[in-house]
């Protein structure tokens, strides 16, 4: 099948599946904690290539954008010249404060971007449809696609890095919510009367267990944490995980992020002990907490998943007549 033919077939195919071709890819773009990265992700989740640029902290918004744009342009060029693949869409992920679809982003890691119009800028640059989502929700998609929750219709993913965030897959679908923040677990109160959070309340998971919180509590980088801090962090994440399992009828929690993965078995053992203590409903008893399995590829596979999800949804919208759409269809 030629490239053109495969693209036409996919565009006309009824939802929910986009017809898969080995030459179709999504250009995956992630705004990370320390660098921007772009890669090519196939419909099977293989990462064919990637390019990275460090995020400079003390430069203006356009300098940051130029660094990101170079990685995107490089990947577009290599897609054609080196890999001979067809780029079907751009999947974009970021953390921090974002508007739905990442029309505007204010990532913690890029202080110069305050409501920066990233989706539009990348659409203009690439000429592709850009589908954006929060990085923790993208990790949930990726872990369900190829990682520790592969094939599981019900689980939540939590990232514990500089901040704490999460995403929920329920009945096989990623939950979005009113503003796109469903699963934002960072503001669960895990320590009533505890440390003041940026959100204004006290004892939020993010204010107690994030990398930034650990630095503030101990005066040292999270990578130099004591056994006690690793255990406490696991315990606190276990509390929030138990509430998720009890509320959403889940039996699996996948945890990624540099802090959690760096703390390793001490963190995960403590989290599991607390989860066992607090998830005691007949449906939540026995819930497991387990490390993300995608490692360094997680963010780009996640951004790729966001791009493929966007394509599937767009195809579904094209094949559904407005009159037959249920009231909640998007």
Could you list the residues that contact Zn ion (CB under 5 A)? 187, 197, 199, 204
Which has the closest alpha carbon to 65: 12, 124, 149? 124
Task: Pick between residue 197 and residue 245 the one whose CB is nearest to Zn ion.
Answer: 197
Q: At closest approach, how far in Å is the CB of 252 from Zn ion? A: 25
**Minimum distance of Zn ion from residue 187's CB (angstroms):** 4
Tell me the C-alpha distance between 89 and 24, whole Å.
10
Q: What is the C-alpha to C-alpha distance for residues 301 and 281, in angstroms, rounded to an integer?
A: 34
Give the residue with the Cβ less far from Zn ion, 76 or 209: 209
The Cα–Cα gap between 6 and 13 comes to 10
C-beta of 30 vs 208, nearer to Zn ion: 208
Q: Could you give the CA distance from residue 175 to residue 191 in angstroms, rounded to a whole number?
A: 26
For the chain, how far is it from start to end, CA to CA, in angstroms?
32
Handedness of CA 108, 114, 118, 124 (dihedral sign): negative
In the bound state with Zn ion, the residue whose beta carbon lies nearer, of 75 and 204, is: 204
We find the least distance from the C-beta atom of residue 52 to Zn ion, in angstroms, to be: 31
Q: Which is nearer to Zn ion, 55 or 197 (CB)?
A: 197
Min. distance of Cβ 97 from Zn ion in angstroms?
Answer: 13
Shortest distance (Å) from residue 161 CB to Zn ion? 16
Describe the strand order of the beta sheet including 24-31 as a list of residue ranges.
Answer: 47-54, 35-42, 24-31, 86-94, 130-134
Is there a contact between 108 and 164 (Cβ–Cβ < 8 Å)? no
Minimum CB distance to Zn ion, residue 199 (Å): 3
Q: Which is nearer to Zn ion, 186 or 234 (CB)?
A: 186
């Amino acid at each position: 099948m030629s490239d053109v033919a495969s693209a036409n077939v996919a565009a006309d195919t009824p939802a929910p599946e986009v017809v898969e071709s080995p030459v179709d890819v999504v250009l995956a773009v992630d705004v990370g904690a320390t660098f921007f990265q772009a890669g090519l992700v196939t419909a099977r989740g293989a990462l064919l290539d990637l390019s990275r640029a460090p995020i400079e902290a003390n430069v203006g918004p356009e300098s940051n954008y130029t660094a990101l744009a170079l990685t995107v342009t490089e990947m577009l060029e290599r897609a054609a010249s080196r890999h001979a693949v067809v780029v079907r869409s751009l999947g974009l992920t970021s953390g921090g404060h974002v508007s739905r679809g990442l029309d505007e982003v204010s990532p913690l890691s890029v202080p110069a971007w305050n409501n920066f119009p990233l989706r539009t800028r990348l659409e203009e640059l690439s000429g592709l449809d850009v589908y954006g989502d929060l990085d923790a929700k993208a990790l949930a998609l990726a872990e369900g696609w190829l990682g520790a929750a592969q094939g599981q219709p019900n689980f939540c993913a939590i990232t514990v890095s500089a901040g704490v965030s999460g995403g929920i897959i329920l009945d096989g679908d990623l939950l979005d919510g009113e503003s796109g923040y469903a699963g934002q677990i960072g503001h669960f109160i895990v320590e009533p009367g505890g440390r003041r959070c940026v959100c204004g309340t006290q004892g939020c998971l993010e204010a107690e267990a994030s990398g930034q919180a650990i630095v503030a509590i101990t005066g040292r980088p999270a990578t130099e944490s004591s056994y006690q801090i690793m255990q406490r962090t696991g315990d606190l994440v276990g509390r929030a995980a138990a509430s998720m399992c009890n509320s959403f009828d889940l039996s699996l929690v996948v945890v990624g992020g540099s802090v959690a993965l760096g703390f390793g078995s001490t963190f995960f053992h403590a989290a599991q002990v607390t989860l066992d203590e607090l998830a005691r409903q007949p449906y939540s008893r026995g819930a497991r907490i387990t490390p993300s399995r995608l490692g360094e590829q997680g963010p780009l596979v996640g951004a790729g998943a966001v791009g493929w999800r966007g394509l599937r949804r767009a195809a579904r919208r094209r094949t559904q007549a407005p009159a037959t759409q249920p009231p909640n269809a998007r």
